Amino acid sequence: MSNILTVDSIVKQYGDFTAVKSISFKLQQGKSLAILGPNGAGKSTTLKMIYATTTPTSGRVTIQNIDVSANPREAKRHIGVVMQDDLLDTSLNVIENMVAHAILFDMSWKSAQKKAESLLQFVGLSNYKKKEIHELSGGMRRRLVLARALVNDPELIILDEPTTGLDIQSRHVFWNRLETLQKQGVSILITSHYGDEIERLANDVLIIDHGQIIAQGVTSELPSTYGYQDIESAYLGLTGYVEEHDEIEQTVG
């Protein structure tokens, strides 16, 4: 199976600080990979280098064999992005946000409108298409951003903590849509703080800390490989959270 994404030794330095220290991995066409790591581990910076909003200090990212730094516009045609900051235009209503994004991909107004209608239906927002952005709940906003990320029929969707802050019901709706996309053959790269989300969605998992990969493997196998029961305990144990937590308990006790 061919790789949709190849990340080769990417490094990101901000002055003297190295936020990402030589990360490499591959994502096969149609597969899903989750990146897990504590706050500040370098997850968002890694994703930003992949979707070409930050240039790597060194290393290379290719999407469908297109070098992202050399041809960002061409690479972006193959991806859809759900960032932490949704950047919805609050001066436009729901469907206008969709159409404005579709036009960036050189769609005619008529096909942009048609695409927007069908994607709003896919995420369950057809009845909200004329609503203003401020009238949407947090879960609806997230679903709108997912719909917006799909306007160019991407082969790869990149999501940065898409369900953080959502209630359980909204998280389930969101997962359900991602599962539908997976079944359609779309590849997914996701960061998340939720072990259950990763176990449900991702074929492979990468745990990073302090800008480095500290564990990686098939989601169903990684915990036992490292002597843990599930992804969440593997993550907590491998990133040293448990010890810190114990220290807090000892201090409080």
Ligand X SMILES: Nc1ncnc2c1ncn2[C@@H]1O[C@H](COP(=O)(O)OP(=O)(O)OP(=O)(O)O)[C@@H](O)[C@H]1O
Which residue's CB is nearer to ligand X, number 161 or number 204? 161
If one asks whether residue 42 binds ligand X (CB under 6 A), the answer comes out as yes
Which residue's CB is nearer to ligand X, number 15 or number 253? 15
If one asks whether residue 37 binds ligand X (CB under 6 A), the answer comes out as yes
Smallest distance from ligand X to CB 45, Å: 3
Q: How many chain residues interact with ligand X (CB under 6 A)?
A: 10
If one asks whether residue 40 binds ligand X (CB under 6 A), the answer comes out as yes
If one asks whether residue 139 binds ligand X (CB under 6 A), the answer comes out as no
If one asks whether residue 45 binds ligand X (CB under 6 A), the answer comes out as yes
Smallest distance from ligand X to CB 114, Å: 36
Smallest distance from ligand X to CB 252, Å: 25
Q: In this structure, are strands 58-63 and 66-67 parallel, antiparallel, or unpaired?
A: antiparallel
CB under 6 A: which stretch of 37-45, 100-108, 134-142, 236-244 binds ligand X?
A: 37-45
